[in-house]
C-alpha cells in the first residue's frame, strides 16, 4: 500500500505552516498562509485549519474566532494545481473513514471529499464559538465553503464570490449551501452563469454582514469580534446552535446529502467520459475559461 501512495503522491509543500494561529483580547485569529497560491486549500491546509479551530475551541480565553487569508485574496478555492496539491496523500482522518488514497474508481473522491470537504465543513460549522470570515479579493468555489461555514462575513468592497464549477459539469461545490446563502433563483443564476458576485451584491442578497473598504476591513472585522466577545460563552454557543438547527429544519443538512451524491455522480460521469474527474479542467484551464467567459481573453 505504501508503494502505491509513494508512486502517486508527488506534492511538494512550499511551507510547513499553511495556517497561522494567534490569540489577542479573547479573539483567536486563524490565518490561511498560502498567499503565493492565493490560499488554495490543499489537505495540508485543511488539517492545519482543523487543528487551529480545535485549539481555539479548547482555549477558554477565546470567545470569538476570525478566519482570514494572507495576501491579495481570501481563497482561490480547492487546490487543483499547485505543487502542494496533495490529493493522493494519506492523512490521519478527523472522521471515521478509511484512507481514500489507495482506492479505485469513484471510491477515491467519494471518501476523500466526505472527509476533507463535506465532513470538515460540517464539523467547522458546528464549532460552539462564533467565527467571523474576513474576506478580501477572491472567494471562489472551495473558498465559499470556508466563508459559508462561518457565522458572520465581513467583506472588503473589492471582494467577490464565485462558484464556476458548473463548467466542469458539476452542480456546485461539495458544501451545497447556495440556496440557503441566497434565494433559490439567485442561486441558480450564481451557479448557471458562474460569474463573479461583487461584495455589494453579496450584501444585497444577505450573504455578507458588512462591506467596507479594504483599508477598513481589519478594523471593522475586529470591532465586530470584540463586540461579540463581550457576550457569555454559553449564550453565544446556544444561539449559534439554535440558528443552525433552524437552518437544518429548513432542510439544509438533508439537501446537502442529496446534492453531495449528485456531485459525485458528476465526478464519476466525468471520469467515464473524459478520464478526468474534473472534466479536464485544472487551475490554469479554469482561469482561462473564466477570462474567456468574461470576454477578457
Ligand atoms: Zn468534488
C-alpha of residue 266 to centroid of ligand 1, in Å: 9
Domain CATH code at residue 150 = 3.90.226.10
Average pLDDT by stretches of 10, the chain with 297 residues: 60 97 98 97 98 98 98 96 95 96 95 98 98 98 98 98 96 97 98 98 98 98 98 98 98 98 97 92 86 82
The one-character DSSP state at 89 is S
Give the span between the Cα atoms of 81 and 282, in whole angstroms.
6
Residue 135 CA to its chain's centroid (Å) = 12
C-alpha of residue 237 to centroid of ligand 1, in Å: 31
C-alpha of residue 6 to centroid of ligand 1, in Å: 23
C-alpha of residue 196 to centroid of ligand 1, in Å: 20
157 occurs within a structural domain: yes
C-alpha of residue 54 to centroid of ligand 1, in Å: 25
What residues have CB less than 8 Å from 249, skipping those under 6 apart?
A: none
For residue 266, count other CB atoms closer than 10 A to its CB. Answer: 20
5 occurs within a structural domain: no
Give the span between the Cα atoms of 111 and 32, in whole angstroms.
25
C-alpha of residue 103 to centroid of ligand 1, in Å: 16
65 occurs within a structural domain: yes
Number of domains in the chain: 1
Name the helix (H) or strand (E) containing 68.
strand 64-69
CB 139 within 8 A of CB 161: yes
C-alpha of residue 76 to centroid of ligand 1, in Å: 15
Secondary structure (3-state) at 139: strand
Range of 199's domain? 19-293
4 occurs within a structural domain: no
14 occurs within a structural domain: no
Name the helix (H) or strand (E) containing 184.
helix 184-193
6 occurs within a structural domain: no
What residues have CB less than 8 Å from 176, skipping those under 6 apart?
A: 255, 256, 259, 260, 263
C-alpha of residue 236 to centroid of ligand 1, in Å: 33
Whose grid coordinates read 458539476? 170
Secondary structure (3-state) at 271: helix
Give the pLDDT of residue 7: 55
34 occurs within a structural domain: yes
Q: Give 159-180 pLDDT, tens digit per residue.
A: 999 999 999 999 999 999 999 9
C-alpha of residue 249 to centroid of ligand 1, in Å: 25
Give the span between the Cα atoms of 259 and 16, in whole angstroms.
34
Which of these, 74, 32, 84, lies nearest to 53 by C-alpha position? 32
C-alpha of residue 241 to centroid of ligand 1, in Å: 27
Q: Is the overall model pTM greater than 0.85, yes or no? A: yes
Which of these, 252, 271, 284, lies nearest to 110 by C-alpha position? 271
**Residues paired with residue 160 on neighbouring β-strands, in sequence order:** 138, 198
> Sign of the CA dihedral 111, 114, 119, 120?
positive
C-alpha of residue 279 to centroid of ligand 1, in Å: 11
**3-state secondary structure labels for all residues of 33-53:** CCHHHCCCECHHHHHHHHHHH
243 occurs within a structural domain: yes
Give the span between the Cα atoms of 191 and 202, in whole angstroms.
14
The one-character DSSP state at 78 is B
Secondary structure (3-state) at 90: coil
Give the span between the Cα atoms of 69 and 29, in whole angstroms.
10
Give the span between the Cα atoms of 43 and 89, in whole angstroms.
8
Secondary structure (3-state) at 155: strand
Q: Give 219-246 pLDDT, tens digit per residue.
A: 999 999 999 999 999 999 999 999 999 9
C-alpha of residue 109 to centroid of ligand 1, in Å: 7
Amino acid at each position: 500500500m505504501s508503494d502505491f501512495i509513494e508512486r502517486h503522491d508527488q506534492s511538494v509543500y512550499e511551507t510547513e505552516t499553511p495556517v497561522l494561529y494567534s490569540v489577542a483580547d479573547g479573539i483567536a485569529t486563524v490565518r490561511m498562509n498560502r498567499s503565493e497560491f492565493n490560499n488554495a486549500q490543499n489537505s495540508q491546509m485543511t488539517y492545519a485549519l482543523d487543528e487551529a479551530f480545535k485549539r481555539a475551541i479548547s482555549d477558554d480565553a477565546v470567545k470569538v474566532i476570525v478566519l482570514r487569508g494572507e495576501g491579495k485574496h481570501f481563497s482561490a478555492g480547492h487546490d487543483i494545481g499547485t505543487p502542494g496539491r496533495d490529493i493522493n496523500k494519506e492523512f490521519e482522518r478527523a472522521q471515521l473513514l478509511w484512507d481514500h488514497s489507495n482506492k479505485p474508481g469513484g471510491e477515491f473522491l467519494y471518501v476523500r471529499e466526505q472527509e476533507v470537504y463535506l465532513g470538515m465543513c460540517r464539523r467547522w460549522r458546528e464549532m460552539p464559538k462564533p467565527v467571523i470570515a474576513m474576506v478580501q479579493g477572491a472567494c471562489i468555489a472551495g473558498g465559499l465553503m470556508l466563508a459559508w461555514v462561518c457565522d458572520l462575513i465581513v467583506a472588503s468592497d473589492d471582494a467577490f464570490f464565485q462558484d464556476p464549477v458548473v463548467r466542469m459539469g458539476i452542480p456546485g461545490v461539495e458544501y451545497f449551501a447556495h440556496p440557503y446563502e441566497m434565494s433559490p433563483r439567485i442561486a441558480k443564476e450564481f451557479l448557471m452563469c458562474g460569474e463573479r458576485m461583487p461584495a455589494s451584491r453579496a450584501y444585497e442578497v444577505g450573504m455578507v454582514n458588512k462591506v467596507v473598504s479594504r483599508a477598513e476591513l481589519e478594523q471593522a472585522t475586529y470591532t465586530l469580534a470584540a463586540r461579540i466577545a463581550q457576550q457569555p460563552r454559553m449564550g453565544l454557543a446556544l444561539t449559534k446552535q439554535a440558528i443552525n438547527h433552524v437552518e437544518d429544519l429548513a432542510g439544509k443538512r438533508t439537501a446537502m446529502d442529496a446534492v453531495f451524491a449528485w456531485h459525485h455522480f458528476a465526478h464519476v460521469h466525468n471520469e467515464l467520459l473524459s478520464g478526468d474527474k474534473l472534466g479536464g479542467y485544472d487551475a490554469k484551464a479554469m482561469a482561462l475559461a473564466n477570462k474567456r467567459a468574461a470576454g477578457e481573453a
